[in-house]
Structure 1
């Protein structure tokens, strides 16, 4: 009995040992199979093209071309019937090419609009600089009346054409440039620019036929100054030296203020009959010339704007100081003091 029991135990141990060996081998094969499956899955994912989430707004207005091999997913945010696209969530699409703007519509970012504003600004500055000096000093107007008349007519023509340009100038609406003719006309009609442009073209200068030479009757042309500001900001955004452009603009503003104050000073002096200590020293000779009148008035306005004041009037056009006093007048004071 003892021998039979020992033999049975030996068989049991051998069977357990064989079972353990088979279990370990199965586990090793399972690990190997799992590793192979993972590596094949990773390689398959890497080979597939990336999925692109499609935005309806960008898809409608973008100019980028989507390659045919690239898959897209429709987010369903666009307009239209979504029932037809339930079974086609992944589709290959190409965006439509944007329509070219009409040739008659002016793009505010193009060079044509830039140079047009340059010409328009020159016409506005012509009126700002010349009208007041022609009004205060009629000699300048009488020197070349035909020239002034032709220049005035040219600037009026440019202002009239600017109305047509603004009728055809595009504008941004929700980040998109509008080229529709009806929308462009309605946008310009509703803006303040349309009212200013109409007032600027009032033909008040025709009253000069009855009133005589009076250039300041063209003062409505000053309402076009807002176009000069448009040109200023456009140049500031384009130039590589914006600080220099701002300095030049500031200098120009100071010069035109001195110009206007000098002309007003001469007009007030003329209204007072050139009598008094503060008026322009109108005397026959050099002080009666046009150059001396303008430079003397500009000198006074510059002193006033810079708060200097109480300086003698220059004796020459190029000199800014009085000539030195004679030596005899200088030596009388110390001589009298010594005698006293």
Structure 2
């Protein structure tokens, strides 16, 4: 078998000098030197493929690294959405044109790198993850994402060398904005504050729309100056007179009466008559806070855009037909867009109140049911208090609902991880096989208890193991109102008493009363489920039985530390063997009974026959 020529691994590039040719013979010598001689060519090929496969990494769309990268791409998209039109303002074009070019190159670099990353992004086909580089690249190239990415990187902005003021040549970069939608979906699957994030989305959309409309208004205003003879501050186009600089007093205390202009005997409405006196009075007592030209232009145009698109009005009347057209288009677009935005806000409010609404409906139904059943006031109040607690704590799903909504294997893995770690921290299960603990953890069931609920009563059979998930449980002894033990989160109760031994002083019954102190969540393991798991671990079962026997002997439950276990502790094979032996014994007894019956029946018939003959002979 001849070796195929392949590209060198990055590690091999470090150890192979540049003057050496990357030949198959050199690779074989390197392998022999570091890993020993090989007899078969297939072994060398296998090693070479393993080394090369380490370089073939893929990107998972569901991990945090891809999410952070998507955020960078989204920032580049938002940059293009905003700054592709910003050069309409002449002050920006004069002062920041070179900076704008550098930022454009940075955004384009992010676009280009994102294409490479998406070519290395794995995907699922028929439920199977594909991580082969050729398949990942082919899947990306055949998708709409590649078409949009390719079109968005066509360098139309090279025409800026001929016409530097045509910044809208970068409008094809907007095709990349589908990545913003993908980033939003990724964030919503991982973030918990969905309402705040949705509000942020709405604000961002409004800002971008207001920005575009402000740029259009400014461009139309510049055109208006070329067709209108004179433009005043009462006209529709933009003017600097509407945005004046800020003046403030230089006195230490602005409220001081000595440095204010005397207006006691004058009417405030007649200030225009003595405006010159006011100017002379404050000429050397004030300072001016000057705004840049761009700040004045952008603030007024953005303000006009926000008022127009929200249909609030209070703007100067249009002077030209073109002004009317822009106003009409803005009004129509504003009504449509903000109808969608208001609908989104209404959905957010409805979603935020959905849980409370559903729980309130449940409470109303429970009230009606309890009134129909004529339940007592104490039970009524306990049910309502529990519903109020679940509403305040936002307990949205029960364990059974979650179990039905996710795959069974995934649910078991979650249970094994949570309860398995809790079991491992307790002395009774310490040092045991992790597989055993995970199988035991998979059998736990979650129960919720209200304050004062009696989980275990005195005299109940020891048939459950309790693992406290949250809340507090109190243990009371017989005729004792003061709790002897206070169990907190993570505590375990009733592990050793699940094993019933001969000579139990209390006939396998509980001598303690367990009561929920507040609202608590408890994982419960049934005795039968534990023994079903132990049947699959015959090598570990004797150790657990010995631990239970020793613990019960130390607590005085059994009199002898070597008490024999009962038949129910036997494995499934042993139980089946015992059942088979019992069936054999029963079969033998039935057969003996049948033979005895037949024998007795024959003897009885013979006796009756003799009696009949004797009776006949008498007559």
The answer to whether the 8 A contact 1:101-1:179 is kept is: no
Q: Which residue in 1 is equivalent to 2:311?
A: 307
Q: Which among 223, 227, 236 is matched to residue 278 of structure 1?
A: 236
Q: Which among 179, 182, 196 is matched to residue 227 of structure 1?
A: 179
The answer to whether the 8 A contact 1:172-1:178 is kept is: yes
The answer to whether the 8 A contact 2:77-2:180 is kept is: yes
The answer to whether the 8 A contact 2:91-2:293 is kept is: no
Q: Tell me the SS of whatever aligns to 1:115.
A: helix
Q: CA deviation at 1:103?
A: 5.2
Q: CA deviation at 1:284?
A: 11
Q: Which residue in 1 is equivalent to 2:79?
A: 126
- Higher fraction of strand: 2
Q: Which residue in 2 is equivalent to 1:238?
A: 190
Q: Which residue in 2 is equivalent to 1:106?
A: 59
Q: CA deviation at 1:280?
A: 1.3
Q: Which among 208, 211, 218 is matched to residue 256 of structure 1?
A: 208
Q: Which has the higher contact order (CA 8 A, sep 6+)?
A: 1
Q: Which among 106, 124, 130 is matched to residue 178 of structure 1?
A: 130
Q: Which residue in 2 is equivalent to 1:160?
A: 112
Give a deviation string over 1:43-97, Cα, whole Å, max 9, x none: xxxxxxxxxxxxxxxxxxxxxxxxxxxxxxxxxxxxxxxxxxxxxxxxxxxxxxx
Partner Cα distance (1:132, 1:286) in 2: 25
Q: Which residue in 1 is equivalent to 2:412?
A: none
Structure 2: where are the runs of 5+ without partners?
1-52, 246-291, 318-619
Q: CA deviation at 1:133?
A: 1.6
Q: Determine whether 1:142 maps to 2:94.
A: yes
Q: CA deviation at 1:138?
A: 2.3
Partner Cα distance (2:174, 2:63) in 1: 26
In structure 2, the CA distance between the partners of 1:284 and 1:298, relative to structure 1 (3 Å rule), is: closer
Q: Which residue in 2 is equivalent to 1:205?
A: 157
Give a deviation string over 1:192-222, Cα, whole Å, max 9, x none: 1111011000111110111233222111111
Q: Tell me the SS of whatever aligns to 2:124.
A: strand
Q: CA deviation at 1:238?
A: 0.6
Q: Which residue in 1 is equivalent to 2:293?
A: 289
Q: CA deviation at 1:190?
A: 1.1
Q: Tell me the SS of whatever aligns to 1:259.
A: helix
Q: Which residue in 2 is equivalent to 1:40?
A: none
In structure 2, the CA distance between the partners of 1:128 and 1:122, relative to structure 1 (3 Å rule), is: same
Q: CA deviation at 1:173?
A: 1.2
Q: CA deviation at 1:286?
A: 5.0
Q: Which residue in 2 is equivalent to 1:3?
A: none
Count of equivalent residues:
213
Q: Tell me the SS of whatever aligns to 1:251.
A: helix
Partner Cα distance (1:247, 1:165) in 2: 30
TM-score (norm 2): 0.33
- Higher fraction of helix: 1
The answer to whether the 8 A contact 1:178-1:184 is kept is: yes
Q: Tell me the SS of whatever aligns to 1:273.
A: helix
Q: Which residue in 2 is equivalent to 1:26?
A: none
Q: Which residue in 2 is equivalent to 1:16?
A: none
In structure 2, the CA distance between the partners of 1:227 and 1:285, relative to structure 1 (3 Å rule), is: closer
Structure 1: where are the runs of 5+ without partners?
1-99, 314-340
Q: Tell me the SS of whatever aligns to 1:272.
A: helix
Q: CA deviation at 1:312?
A: 6.7
Q: Which residue in 2 is equivalent to 1:319?
A: none
The answer to whether the 8 A contact 2:152-2:174 is kept is: yes
In structure 2, the CA distance between the partners of 1:251 and 1:285, relative to structure 1 (3 Å rule), is: closer
Give a deviation string over 1:285-340, Cα, whole Å, max 9, x none: 95992111111101111111111112479xxxxxxxxxxxxxxxxxxxxxxxxxxx
In structure 2, the CA distance between the partners of 1:169 and 1:208, relative to structure 1 (3 Å rule), is: same
TM-score (norm 1): 0.59
Partner Cα distance (1:108, 1:175) in 2: 15
Q: Which residue in 2 is equivalent to 1:191?
A: 143
The answer to whether the 8 A contact 1:266-1:280 is kept is: yes
The structure 1 segments of at least 4 consecutive aligned residues displaced by more than 4 Å after TM superposition are: 100-103, 282-288
Give a deviation string over 1:100-146, Cα, whole Å, max 9, x none: 99752101111221111011011111111112122x20211221222
**224-233 or 109-118: bigger deviation:** 109-118
Partner Cα distance (1:161, 1:138) in 2: 32
Q: Which residue in 2 is equivalent to 1:70?
A: none
The answer to whether the 8 A contact 2:80-2:174 is kept is: yes
